[in-house]
Amino acid sequence: MSASAEDRALFRDSARQFLTDNATGADVRRWMATDLGYDQEVWGRVAGELGWPALPVPEDYGGLGLGLRETALLMEEMGAACFCSPFLATVVLAGSAIALGGTEEQKGEYLPAIAGGELTATLALTEKSGRIDADGIAATYAADGDFYVLNGAKRFVIDGASAGLLLVAARKLGTNGEAGVSLFAVPGDAEGLARAALPTLDQTRRQADVTLADVRVPKSALLGEEGNAWALISQVADRGITALAAEQAGGARRCLQLTVDYIQERVQFGRAIGSFQAIKHRCADMMVKVESALAAANAAADAADAGDPLFPMYAAMAKAYCSEAFFACAGEAIQLHGGVGFTWEYEPHLFFKRARASAALMGDADYHRERIAVGLGL
Amino acid sequence: MSTTDSPEDAAFRAEAREWLTAQLEGPFAHVRFRGGPGEEEDAFEERVVWEKAMGAAGWTGISWPKEYGGRAATLSQQVIFYQEYARAGGPGRVGHIGEGLVAPTILAFGSEEQKQRFLPGIKNGTELWCQGYSEPAAGSDLANVQTRARLEGDEWVIDGQKVWTSLARTAGWCFVICKTEPDAPRYRNLSFLLVKMDQPGVTIKPIIQLTGTSEFNEVFFDGARAPAENVVGGAGNGWKVAMGLLAFERGASTLGQQIGFENEFKEILEAAKANGKASDPIMRQKLAQAWIELQLVRLNAVTNLEEGTTRPGLAAVNKICWATWHRHAGELAMEVMGADAEICAAPPYELTRFQNRFLFSRSDTIYGGTNEIQRNIIAEQALGLPREPRP
């Protein structure tokens, strides 16, 4: 299901208003200094008053059943605010995985809790290698009676230290490649699970080390068919990178706005520096990137919602393009702010650091361009 | 653009595809993929016949109101038609200046008599047009045109020089921006005149370009004449009409050309597969990036069509995107060809398609407003930054 253009516009206005009022640069700096990395009370309001986590959750499970395009719209606005929240990991990654691959029991147990904001969750896919293809999964599982036993070490897990539920990708002992990969729902308090938040260059989104030492989960913790979860993981990852691309596009948009605002106030040589063509043209180039980034992310989200077979190509396009566009715009924001762009006080560094982190998250531009090259038959 | 058609659009697509396929795999197979920017003289006479066949079958002026012979096609249908046209290998349109620039301008600003007089010739492919905008002293600063026209009885008498006029030698008509109100202030001193090319006061001189060929010309007006009623939008309103036309130039009319880029990109991919460059990891990155940017050319064009009237600057974003993409694609094709890129098709200087595009695409970021002018437009109209000083 997708919302009408009017509904989307209303939705965007309300999201933007909430974030303008409740996620200022000072708020972000406060949240990013906490252990959790976001504000639980604000997240409670986002879930309770605004219903954001309910947006993509199917209606049968307490959600609104809207499309990835509406999720992208929210991500764009959150990106523009550099908002700290568990939305990407909980709603987009874990929520999609459960909605697309979960059993009825799993959906009934987890999705209403995600929609209501009571449960946070994440996808534990990557490991030390940082690879996001199937060969990057070295963690293993083995059947033991009515249980699976999981072992291994996950890294770069978004919100991994705080999430209430982890969807852990592991492979059957002795397999390699895409075959043999399974996905398990592992509660955050499972015995044998150890989690440690990593100090990150971008402080606005937490990553964690997650180690599994003989973690036993019941057979009912398996998502989808045993040994065949790679297709599900790929689909979830493509939804994740599309949403992330929209967030990057929103970040790029904000970098342009911050810059345009600043250069109209800053006076040198007796005139606003925004009147110099050397500055104006660089802002124009930023706008070309911003418009293109928004178009790429929205086209990928539309392709997902339409069931277009080109969705994986478009998702790769969105992540590759938006990663570079956001980083370029954040870098320009620092440069065009001049000296104050180098301070902690002004906003650009928040976006610059997040742009760097997001560019690497879930596959960088080179990785996704190579996917496209394969898709083009090269 | 929606990735799925509505039922009406699907029917429209099927109708367009059926006709185009039947013609371009049948009687017009010899014009497939011929012509286009930089190759304007390729199979020209054959493409004139094709233009007339399109007109007779109702596939020219599809966006026009039905009362003027159009189909009142919606935006999505125009996009569909261009997609199908490119897919079928439709040739470069000899009537694109008339259909894409003159017709929308006359529909927006012209009198009923002008619509009745000029639209049928464009629709039927019997009257081809060329553009009299740039002058030696009026490139980016278009308002500085020096060509003058004065009313003498019931005729305009025109003196001056235009430059960079493509298709001047084959066009029957030219639209000319000229000064008609010498005492009025800048921007209020111009008129938009429709001038017949075949008359004693018009002289055409080809420009030899860096390609060695001559798509562009100089056009000299030396006492050339046009009926008094051939002024569009009223005397002194030429700047407003000219800017309206430029909006069309940066809008729907470029869509067909951009979708033709899909075919050019496929040629580059095929070349890379054929010579082994497709397995080079760096070249794979570059080809994938070109594919990404090609999708963005299309997506930005559609955004511009849908929102361009309410969001200033989008047309300029679109122009920068497609022009820069085409220039990059020209460079990429040469890179794919490696050492072979240097060898011409035949002596003394007959260029290969890749060489021709590599060279000709340098004009894309200059004509129709340079990338630098587009950046000024974006900065001032979209971002609200202070304007450049003007005389």
Letter for the amino acid at A318?
A
Chain A residues with CB-CB distance to B314 below 8 A: 291
Nearest to B107 by CA among B70, B58, B52: B70
User: CB-based contact (8 Å) between B278 and chain A?
Assistant: yes
What's the pLDDT tens digit per position in B54-110?
999 999 999 999 999 999 998 889 888 988 998 899 998 999 899 989 999 999 999
Domain end residue (candidates: A160, A192, A227)? A227
User: Which candidate from A271, A284, A372 shows the least CB-CB separation from B379?
Assistant: A284
What CATH number does the domain containing A167 carry? 2.40.110.10
Chain A residues with CB-CB distance to B383 below 8 A: 256, 260, 280, 283-284, 287
Position B35 confidence tier, pLDDT thresholds 50, 70, 90: confident
The answer to whether B385 contacts A264, with C-beta atoms less than 8 Å apart, is yes
CA angle A216, A179, A174 (to 5 degrees): 60
Tell whether the model's pLDDT for residue B1 goes beyond 50: no
Same domain, A363 and A263: yes
Average pLDDT on A106-110 reads 98
Closest chain A residue to B284, measured at CA: A373
Q: Which residue has the higher pLDDT, B35 or A1?
A: B35
User: Which candidate from A256, A295, A370 shows the least CB-CB separation from B288?
Assistant: A370
Q: Which residues of B are catalytic?
A: 249
Same domain, A300 and A312: yes
Total domains, chain A: 3
Q: Which two tokens stand for residue B216?
A: 């562009």
Task: Note the pLDDT of residue B250.
Answer: 63
Instruction: Provide the 8-state DSSP code for B366.
Output: T
Same domain, A235 and A369: yes
Same domain, A367 and A289: yes
Domain end residue (candidates: A197, A227, A257)? A227
Chain A residues with CB-CB distance to B380 below 8 A: 280
What's the pLDDT tens digit per position in A167-195?
999 999 999 999 999 999 999 999 999 99
Interface of A with B (CB under 8 A): 256, 260, 263-264, 271-272, 274-275, 277, 279-281, 283-285, 287-288, 291-292, 295-296, 299, 302-303, 306, 308, 310, 314, 317, 320-321, 366, 369-370, 372-373, 376-378
Q: Which residues contact A41 (CB under 8 A, 6 or more apart)?
A: none
Q: What is the ipTM of this complex?
A: 0.95
Same domain, A126 and A75: no
Same domain, A144 and A32: no
What CATH number does the domain containing A309 carry? 1.20.140.10
Is-contact B303 A291, C-beta < 8 A? yes
Same domain, A151 and A209: yes
Average pLDDT on A74-102 reads 98
CATH 1.20.140.10 fits B250-382, yes or no: yes
Three-class SS state of B25: coil
User: Which candidate from A292, A366, A378 shows the least CB-CB separation from B287?
Assistant: A378
Same domain, A52 and A140: no
Chain A residues with CB-CB distance to B321 below 8 A: 288, 292
Average pLDDT on B371-389 reads 95
3-state SS of B67-102 is HHCCCCCCHHHHHHHHHHHHHCCCCCCCCHHHHHHH
Closest chain B residue to A308, measured at CA: B3
- Rounded Cα distance, A288 and A174, in Å: 49
Could you tell me the pTM of the whole model?
0.94
Average pLDDT, chain A: 97
| Closest Cα in chain A, distance from residue B198 (Å) | 43
Average pLDDT on A60-80 reads 97
Tell whether the model's pLDDT for residue A1 goes beyond 80: no
Closest chain A residue to B286, measured at CA: A369
The answer to whether A260 contacts B4, with C-beta atoms less than 8 Å apart, is no
Chain B residues with CB-CB distance to A296 below 8 A: 292, 295-296, 299
Percent of chain B with pLDDT over 90: 79
Average pLDDT on B1-27 reads 88
Is-contact A369 A316, C-beta < 8 A? yes
User: Which candidate from B300, B313, B378 shows the least CB-CB separation from A295?
Assistant: B300
Q: Which residues contact A191 (CB under 8 A, 6 or more apart)?
A: A215, A216
Task: Note the pLDDT of residue B87.
Answer: 86
What CATH number does the domain containing A78 carry? 1.10.540.10
Same domain, A193 and A286: no
Same domain, A244 and A151: no
Q: Which domain holds residue A17?
A: 5-120
Assign a CATH topology to domain B7-94. Answer: Butyryl-Coa Dehydrogenase, subunit A; domain 1 (1.10.540)
CATH 3.30.379.10 fits B129-236, yes or no: no
Q: Which of residues 284-313 of B touch A (CB under 8 A)?
A: 284-285, 287-289, 291-292, 295-296, 299-300, 303, 313
Q: Which of residues 258-277 of B touch A (CB under 8 A)?
A: 269, 272-273
Percent of chain A with pLDDT over 90: 97
Same domain, A281 and A169: no
Closest chain B residue to A280, measured at CA: B379
Domain end residue (candidates: A100, A120, A140)? A120
Nearest to B176 by CA among B152, B151, B149: B149
Between A5-22 and A68-80, two packed helices, what is the crossing angle to 10 degrees? 30
The answer to whether A369 contacts B374, with C-beta atoms less than 8 Å apart, is no
Average pLDDT, chain B: 92
Percent of chain B with pLDDT over 70: 96
Nearest to B180 by CA among B266, B239, B95, B129: B239
User: Any idea where the domains of chain B sit in the sequence?
Assistant: 7-94, 129-236, 250-382
Task: Note the pLDDT of residue B2.
Answer: 44
Tell whether the model's pLDDT for residue B3 goes beyond 60: no
Task: Note the pLDDT of residue B39.
Answer: 80
Same domain, A238 and A364: yes
What's the pLDDT tens digit per position in B200-236?
999 999 999 999 988 899 999 999 999 999 999 999 9
| Closest Cα in chain B, distance from residue A87 (Å) | 27
| Closest Cα in chain B, distance from residue A116 (Å) | 32
One fold for both B7-94 and B129-236?
Answer: no
Task: Note the pLDDT of residue B309.
Answer: 80
What's the pLDDT tens digit per position in B249-299?
666 656 766 668 988 999 999 999 999 999 999 999 999 999 999 999 989
Q: Which residues contact B310 (CB under 8 A, 6 or more apart)?
A: none
Q: How far is CA A59 from CA A91, A302, A304, in A?
A: 14, 20, 18
Instruction: Provide the 8-state DSSP code for A258.
Output: H
- Rounded Cα distance, A325 and A331, in Å: 10
Chain B residues with CB-CB distance to A267 below 8 A: none
SS3 content of chain B, % helix, strand, coil (to 5): 50, 15, 35
